[in-house]
Copies of this chain bind each other. A is one copy, B any other.
Amino acid sequence: MSGQKQWEKVENRSITLAKGFQAGGIAAGIKNEKKDIAVIYSEKEAVAAGVFTRNQVKAAPVYLCQEHLENPIQAVVINSGNANACTGEQGTKDARLMAEKTAEATGLKPGEVMVSSTGVIGVPMPMDKVIGGIVQAAAALGAGEEYDLAAAQAIMTTDTVTKQTAFRCSTNDGEFHLGGIAKGSGMICPNMATMLAFLTTDVKIERSLLQELFAEASDKSFNSITVDGDTSTNDTALILANGLAEGIEITRESKYLPVFKEMLIELCQELARKIVEDGEGITKVITLNIRGLTDEKSGRVMALSVLNSPLVKTAFYGEDANWGRILAALGYSGVTFDPDKVDIYIGPYQVAANGGSVPFSEEKMKDVLKKRDIPVLIDLKNGQDEVTAWGTDMSHEYISINADYRS
């Protein structure tokens, strides 16, 4: 492929850009006045792929999604305000009831519905409000800008901005689309911590291939971001593919596989970055690139060890080029490497060479550190692989938000 992209971004759109998808988002009273229930609907059976929290304590809807994952799927129901986590037997029943009521309202079978929840933990679901809300959201289904926005709003908790994006790809065989919405501000971390993402596409694709591509895209995006390192009980990222884009089938041999894969990774990364940028009480976004790796997996472990270190995070908040804390965080990541080969750069300036200090201008460094976006590069000089991960600083504001919010 040439350097030029084969697809374009479609502004202000997300999950109903792909053919045959509709969405509805309404306020059912679970949260105060704000929208809190979304339904996503596909006019035709879709295949679904998903990645879920690796926390052993999983909310009831996560189990339900894992059960339904290989079914033909036609709807997703999502509520914010209550996570339906640590809610025991009743929680399982409530998640099932949400699938049933959504199926009833859209003319489907319960097994064709996915369920997702986010919000406070350990409190039983207000099912009267939820059921009323499902009926209302199903009645509000439609496609277009306002429907995308309503769904994006309905899945928010402490988020301050909606997170959505969509791409259109035009080919000689016709157009296809990919769009997504996401939520999550605090408690974002490796392994899908309190974040939800829902993607739709109109390509035709087999479930196993979609699952493989989506898992890789998630590793490079949702699993490469962190705000506070806590892994939540509810994290879910789902993609539905309904095959309504005529003439576009993605197979392992398809000429469109590379472009679809690229779009999927870029869309997931864009949503992931939006989540980091909206991190609770942050003042800096750190883009950490680790090079010279023998494998990506251990690189991601190291990157998240650095980005989760409270000492690294507070140093960036304090605009201090404290590379010793970065090296120390690599050192306790559990990954074996040679500390005496490590080079570290903050912005364009090298601050450590071969594990030791390098003189740099504190004056010029100040200009780098006072910006909101700070690139950090670590070179382990040990191989050809590299990873990129995104994190934040830790501020006074973070403490305030999390001391006051029972989630």
What residues make up the interface of A, taking CB atoms closer than 8 Å to B? 54-58, 83, 85-88, 120-124, 186-187, 191, 228-233, 309-311, 314-315, 317-318, 320, 322-325, 327-332, 336-337, 339-340, 352, 354-357, 394-396, 398-400, 402-404, 406-407
Contacts and interface: CB of A to CB of B under 8 A. Distances in A.
A402 B57 contact: no
Contacts of A336: 56
Contacts of A230: 309-311, 325, 328-329, 332
Given A328-B57, A332-B54, A403 B315 contact: yes
Contacts of A325: 121, 230, 407
Most chain B beta-carbon contacts within 10 A, residue among A187, A324, A337, A400 = A324
B332 A191 contact: yes
A54 B335 CA distance: 12
B396 A399 contact: yes
A236 to B, nearest CB: 15
B311 A57 contact: no
- What number of copies of this chain does the assembly contain? 2
A309 B86 CA distance: 18
B186 A231 contact: no
Contacts of A395: 399
Nearest to A334: B56
B403 A318 contact: yes
